């Protein structure tokens, strides 16, 4: 009976320690404003924590010459993303052949009546200078809008075939800003 109790307690402590580790930035995480990434996604150099995070979150990671995945759980001021607020993602095209920004809740696309889940380089409206602003949350509507509904959410910025400036220095790549506009 003691052996069973020790096994159960040991297993529970192991699961708890793993979950706590995965809730925080794993080793090797690079931040760039509100965006973070790991250059070991999809590589043999990935440590056990990164592999566990990829397995839990269902990310099918390509190697970094094919794609770099940035994620944001907070805005540019460090506040958690909240679906009761409206955000503006603004900037110019990141140095990549193609990119997209997608909203998720608990690792899943967020159901919404507009069936809008992301924006991308080829389907975004631009201003006269070639820049863009994407509204996240609220009831903005239009081509540059991602509805999220109430509750916490995250954003994923995927850069496919990233250019030399991103590959050489992903912590200083020119990525879009993510600012809170208002809250209801």
Q: Is residue 11 very low, low, confident or very high in pLDDT (cuts 50, 70, 90)?
A: confident
Task: Tell me what the mean pLDDT of segment 151-171 comes to.
Answer: 94
Residue 55 is predicted with a pLDDT of: 54
> Of the ranges 2-6, 17-21, 75-79, 113-117, which one carries the lowest mean pLDDT score?
17-21
CATH of 29-183, one of 1.20.1090.10, 3.30.565.10, 3.40.640.10, 2.60.120.600: 2.60.120.600
Structure token pair of residue 177 = 């800003």
pLDDT, tens only, 102-136: 999 998 999 999 899 999 999 999 999 999 999 99
CA angle 81, 82, 86 (to 5 degrees): 95
Its pTM stands at 0.78
pLDDT for 143: 80
């Amino acid at each position: 009976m003691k052996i069973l109790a020790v096994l159960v307690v040991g297993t529970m402590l192991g699961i708890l320690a793993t979950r706590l580790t995965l809730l925080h930035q794993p080793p090797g995480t690079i931040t760039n404003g509100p965006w973070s990434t790991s250059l070991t996604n999809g590589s043999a150099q990935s440590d056990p924590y990164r592999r566990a995070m990829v397995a839990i979150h269902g990310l099918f990671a390509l190697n970094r010459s094919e794609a770099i995945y940035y994620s944001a759980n907070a805005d540019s001021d460090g506040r958690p993303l909240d679906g009761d607020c409206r955000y503006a993602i603004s900037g110019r095209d990141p140095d990549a052949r193609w990119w997209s920004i997608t909203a998720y809740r608990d690792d899943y696309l967020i159901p919404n009546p507009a069936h809008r889940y992301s924006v991308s380089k080829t389907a975004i409206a631009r201003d006269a200078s070639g820049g863009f602003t994407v509204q996240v949350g609220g009831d903005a509507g239009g081509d540059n809008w991602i509805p999220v509904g109430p509750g916490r959410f995250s954003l994923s910025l995927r850069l496919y075939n990233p250019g030399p400036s991103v590959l050489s220095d992903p912590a200083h790549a020119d990525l879009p800003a993510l600012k809170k506009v208002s809250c209801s």
